Chain A
Amino acid sequence: MQPFELVRAPSPSDAAQLTKDEHTRLIAGGTNLLDLMKLQVETPSRLADISRLDCAEITDTPDGGLRIGALVTNTATAVHPRVRQDYPVLARAILAGATQQLRNKATTGGNLCQRTRCFYFTKIDQPCNKRDPGSGCSAIEGVAKLHAVLGTSDQCIATYPGDMAVAMSALDAEVHIMKEDGTERSVPVRDFHLLPGDTPWRENELGRGEMITAVTLPPPVGGAHYYRKVRERSSYAFALVSVAAVIEIEGGVFTRADLAFGGLAHKPWFDPAIGAVLLGKAADDALFDEAADVLLQSARGFGENDFKIPLARRTLRAVLTQAVEDAA
């Protein structure tokens, strides 16, 4: 690791202020940042320790939802009785990611900000527009098994690697951000992450001088919750494709279908048109294919990841078929 100074930020607004310096990074769990610092992908000259700030609680919101502090660990969220009871898609998504050791350290805010696992991004002797703007993208004609098939650009085909945010997208959660002056703003999780476009180094809405303080979940949404993750081994692997779904079926007809997808893009993929295809219609294989057509209408493979396109179709179909069976 390159030398750095370690400071503790006394408050979230102080932490936000410290991030105005482009060589400063906030550190909480550190499981992603320290890994990247060892690889010299990240070389901050200062780390601001936010791990002991007062953002580590899960509390009920006045409207019956849930506020998950930015420093709540993935474990604490996944085992929380209300998350297990009212938002099982979120508990399932978190439990499907990483290992217990990592989930015990990883935080809500850090998980939202985690970086891609693109092989070229993490190898500093390789061109990468995300790490080294203008140097090129090695993945487009290279090793791209984990890479995106939706929303790619000619600059970057990396994926957002997380599971938690995919479930939060299905639940339409809100990210709360504090600015250096102590004021707050919020952004829907669905809009928090960005597509690569011409600025692949910009991965989310968080700007300099800002810190995530919490994520809020809406009042319980009901329905049946699913998180189906397809990966190369049965535990501790990133998603090739994942589907987070909140489904309601009444009388054989979809009355709710909130769907978000992981492993396919630079962000958790949410498109209201996919669920809209299903609503009010009788569930059958032809309808599932119609929904998959909407999901994949602009999909493009890059050789090694071509398989993701039919895999996403089959995984969506599997989740919807399961939901129909469970509703029967």
Chain B
Amino acid sequence: MQPVKFIIGGVLILAAVGLGFYSFSVTRQTAEYFMTVDELIAEGQTVVGKNIRISGAVIGDTIEYDAQSLTLKFTVAHVTGDNDEIEAQGGLAEVLHTAVTDPTRNHIDVVYEGVMPDLLRDEAQAIMTGTLHVDGTFYAEELLLKCPTRYEEAVPGQVEQASR
């Protein structure tokens, strides 16, 4: 018998189990669900209040910005979240362009409080983290924009991050 080994082992196992449960609950509270606009609309009320990350194509005409209250509103159109699919459809720029010009796509309204990012323009890809409200508006807490340009590979070049 080696009691010391067993004591340490026992304590470590208990600690590991405790940490496991703790991590599990933290994960449930803080995990962000990746969704597309289509998925978000399909899930609807069931995901209200959860942390969600969605990506969509910014429709330029819908951008409204109130510099006094720093409130930014815009609408995004559905784009696929699958990288292979994006490649197959001719790259990000092409996919975003199609999304914005296709009126049959699902749209979702976004509200963001903060300074308007420079990269927010028509046919930019917006990657947002936030929550869906009961009225179907997405309240973004974090807004990340990608503009496919010839600087594509020069990440972090085309990525702009803003957060509240």
A and B together in one complex: no
B-binding residues in A (CB < 8 A): none
A-binding residues in B (CB < 8 A): none
